[in-house]
């Protein structure tokens, strides 16, 4: 099965070279297949769900190698995807998928207030963290540290932080090694992207609060790595209660993040 970004794509009559696994020869540059073709291939991967919402794309240099194109051509394709609102590009952080297909869950997501979402997260995440402490492998902990480092190095705008924060908490779900927990957390992340949060995230996510969230994230990762169940559960519980207080301070049913 052909892949991009580590996810399988449906076979096609002519599998584009960029879908080849990484250990196979890279594509040969084809002047007849410029930025429009690259745009089309990436658009298809995004809209078919092979590249999911908030997933980070490879760097421009890597995409240029995958497609056998120049970085200028790749950059033009990414600019078009950004204009089409399929990706979000952030200097210093990278390019992230910004597309979600409509689904029956969308109505529930739109009806769920951020405070209601935090209540669900308080019910789910302490046990999710408990499982992460008990079950995570060294490779999963490495990915969790990478996600944390990316948040700490990123610019402090609310949109970038929201995308990276979603990935960080999803990494914790993956550390649980429970596929149903991972699926459930993807649904939680879907709710976190809807209108009520988007309307208020710039107000809630100040530079100071982003710094505090990242401090809490680091202490949480340290507790998970130390296999300290009680500390990790207490940290994530306090983390979510802190987020809840920020929501209440901004308005009872407006957006929030943790």
pLDDT value for 216: 97
Per-residue pLDDT tens listing for the chain (258 residues): 334 544 433 333 333 444 433 333 344 445 446 888 899 899 999 988 888 888 899 999 999 999 888 999 999 999 889 888 899 888 778 899 988 776 555 567 677 888 888 999 999 999 999 999 999 999 999 999 999 998 888 767 787 888 889 999 999 999 999 999 999 998 898 887 766 666 667 677 888 899 999 999 999 999 999 999 999 999 999 999 999 998 887 664 443 445
Closest CA to 134 of 94, 185, 178: 178
Rounded (5°) CA angle 112-209-98: 50
Q: Which residues partner with 8 through β-bridges? A: 3
pLDDT of residue 104: 55
Neighbours of 243 (CB within 10 A): 22
Give counts: helices (H), strands (E), the chain. 12, 4
**Assigned token pair, 144:** 């969790």
SS3 state of residue 38: helix
HEC string for 102-166: CCCHHHHHHHCCHHHHHHHHHHHHHHHHHHHHHHCCHHHHHHHHHHHHHHHHCCCCHHHHHHHHH
CB-hemisphere CA count at 13 Å for 215?
8
* Residue in 194, 243, 202 with CA at minimum distance from that of residue 220: 243
Q: Cα 42–45–46 angle (5° rounding)?
A: 90
């Amino acid at each position: 099965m052909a892949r991009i970004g580590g996810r399988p794509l449906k076979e096609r009559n002519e599998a584009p070279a960029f879908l080849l696994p990484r250990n196979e020869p890279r594509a040969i540059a084809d002047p007849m297949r410029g930025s429009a073709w690259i745009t089309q291939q990436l658009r298809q991967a995004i809209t078919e769900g092979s590249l999911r919402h908030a997933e980070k794309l490879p760097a421009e240099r890597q995409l240029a190698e995958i497609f056998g194109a120049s970085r200028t051509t790749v950059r033009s394709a990414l600019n078009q995807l950004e204009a089409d609102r399929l990706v979000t590009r952030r200097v210093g952080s990278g390019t992230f998928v910004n597309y979600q297909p409509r689904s029956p869950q969308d109505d529930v997501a739109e009806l769920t207030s951020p405070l209601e979402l935090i209540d669900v997260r308080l019910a789910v995440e302490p046990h999710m963290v408990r499982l992460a402490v008990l079950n995570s492998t060294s490779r999963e902990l490495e990915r969790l540290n990478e996600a944390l480092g990316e948040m700490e190095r990123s610019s402090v705008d609310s949109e970038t932080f929201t995308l990276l924060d979603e990935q960080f908490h999803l990494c914790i779900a993956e550390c649980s090694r429970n596929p149903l927990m991972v699926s459930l957390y993807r649904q939680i992340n879907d709710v976190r992207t809807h209108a009520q949060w988007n309307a208020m995230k710039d107000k809630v996510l100040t530079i100071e609060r982003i710094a505090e969230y990242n401090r809490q994230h680091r202490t949480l990762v340290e507790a998970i790595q130390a296999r300290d169940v009680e500390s990790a559960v207490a940290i994530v519980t306090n983390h979510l209660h802190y987020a809840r207080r920020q929501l209440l301070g901004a308005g009872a049913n407006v957006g929030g993040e943790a």
